[in-house]
Copies of this chain bind each other. A is one copy, B any other.
Amino acid sequence: MAEGEEDEFERIGRYFAPLAGAGGLGLLDDAALVECGPGQRLVMTADAMVAGVHYLPEDPPDLVARKLLRVNLSDLAAMGARPLHYLLTTALPAGLGSAWIADFARGLGEDQQQFGVALLGGDSVATTGPAVLSLTAIGEVAAGMEIRRSGARPGDIVWVSGTIGDAYLGLGVLRGSYPKLAAEHRGALIARYRLPEPRVTLGPALCGIAHAMIDVSDGLLADLGHICETSGLAAIVELGSLPLSAAARAAAALEPGIAARLAGGGDDYELLFTAPAAANSAIGALGSRLGVAISAIGRIEAGAGVRLVDGDGHEVAVEAAGYRHF
C-alpha cells in the first residue's frame, strides 16, 4: 500500500459503511443476517463487471455502480422477486484514486434509495489489473410463485417489456458508429447502454400470469433460446413486432439492415416472458397501470430453436446468435 493511500478498513468505513442498513450490522461483523418472512423464499444472483470488458474505464463511476446493481436487480425481477439487499466485492487498482471510489459509492447510494435495497456486506481488495466488481443481490418471492425459464407452454404468447436494441446501438455510438444520427438520439442510446432500467415492479407483478421469464442480457433471440431449451419448445418471433425506440427507428432508417441485428444485441435488461393467450388483457392492463410498454412479439410452439420471421413469414438471418462483449 502506497503511503497516504486509504487502506481497506478506511475505504470501507468512509465509502461503504454509510450504505449499510440495519441488517448489514454496520459492516461490523464477519457476516450479515438476513430475515426471511413466513411463506417467502429468498432469491439470489451474482454478476460481475470488469473495466475494459463490461464497461469503459472512462465511464462515469456512479453510472458503473448503478449499472452493476441494476443488472443484478434485473435478474431478481426475471424470477418475479422483489429486491431486498446486496453484497459487493470490489477489486480495484491501487491507482484508481479516492474520487473514483467516492463517485462509485454515491451512485450506489442513489440507486439504493430508488430501489429500496441496502448493502449487507462484502469485501474490498486491491488488484494489479483492471477493476473487477462483483455484486450478489438478494430478493424475495412468495414460495411457489417464482417464475422459471422452463415453464413455457405451446401456444404461449411471447412478450417483451420496453424497447429492444438501444444498448447495442448505444455501445456502437460510443465506438464511433452511426455518425449521422441526431445528437438527441445518440445521447438517448448511450444512456440506455450505460444505465439499464430494471423492471423491478413489473417482474413481481407477473407472478401468477407469466409461465416463463428471463431478462434480456445476452440478446433477445439468445435469451428466448434459453427459455426454449429449458422448456423443450420452439419460438417464432416477428421482426415487425419488435418494439423499437424513436432513436433505434432513426438508426434503422439510416442503416436499413439493422433491425434484425437489434434482436441479437444484448444488455437491454428488459423482461422477456411467455404467457397464455387468456392472459392478454391482464398483461395489457398491467402495462397501463405500471406505465411500461409490453409488446407481444411472437409465440411458443412445439419443436426446438428460435426463428425470426418477416411480415411474409420468411425466416430472417441474424448475424450473431448472442451478445459478445467488446
A residues bordering B, Cβ < 8 Å?
A: 1, 25, 28-36, 38, 40-50, 52-54, 74-76, 78-79, 81, 87-91, 120-123, 125-130, 132, 134, 136-139, 141, 146, 148-150, 213-215, 226, 230, 324-325
Contact = CB atoms under 8 A, between A and B. Distances in A.
B136 A75 contact: no
B75 A30 contact: yes
* Complex copy number for this chain: 2
A215 B88 CA distance: 20
Given A35-B41, A36-B40, 7 more contacts: A25-B148, A31-B75, A31-B137, A36-B36, A46-B88, A47-B123, A53-B126
Nearest first, the 7 closest Cβ-Cβ pairs linking A and B are A129-B129, A36-B36, A31-B45, A132-B132, A134-B134, A30-B78, A48-B89
| Most interface-central of A31, A78, A148, A230 (chain B CB within 10 A) | A31
A235 to B, nearest CB: 17
A120 B44 contact: yes
Contact of A214 (B25, B30, B35, B141): B30
Given A127-B53, A132-B132, A134-B134, A121 B31 contact: no
A46 B91 contact: no
Nearest to A41: B33
Given A31-B44, A47-B89, A149-B28, A127 B136 contact: no
Contact of A128 (B74, B79, B129): B129
A52 B128 CA distance: 8
Contacts of A76: 30-31
B126 A50 contact: yes
Contacts of A34: 36, 41-44
Contacts of A44: 31-32, 34, 87, 120-121, 136, 138
A141 B32 CA distance: 11
Nearest to A223: B30
A36 B42 contact: yes
Contacts of A215: 30
A80 to B, nearest CB: 10
Nearest to A75: B30
A143 to B, nearest CB: 8
A132 B134 CA distance: 10
Nearest to A78: B30
Contact of A130 (B25, B35, B127): B127
21 contacts: A25-B148, A28-B150, A31-B139, A32-B43, A34-B42, A34-B44, A36-B42, A44-B87, A46-B88, A46-B121, A46-B134, A48-B91, A48-B123, A50-B126, A50-B128, A53-B125, A91-B134, A123-B134, A126-B325, A127-B130, A132-B134
A4 to B, nearest CB: 15
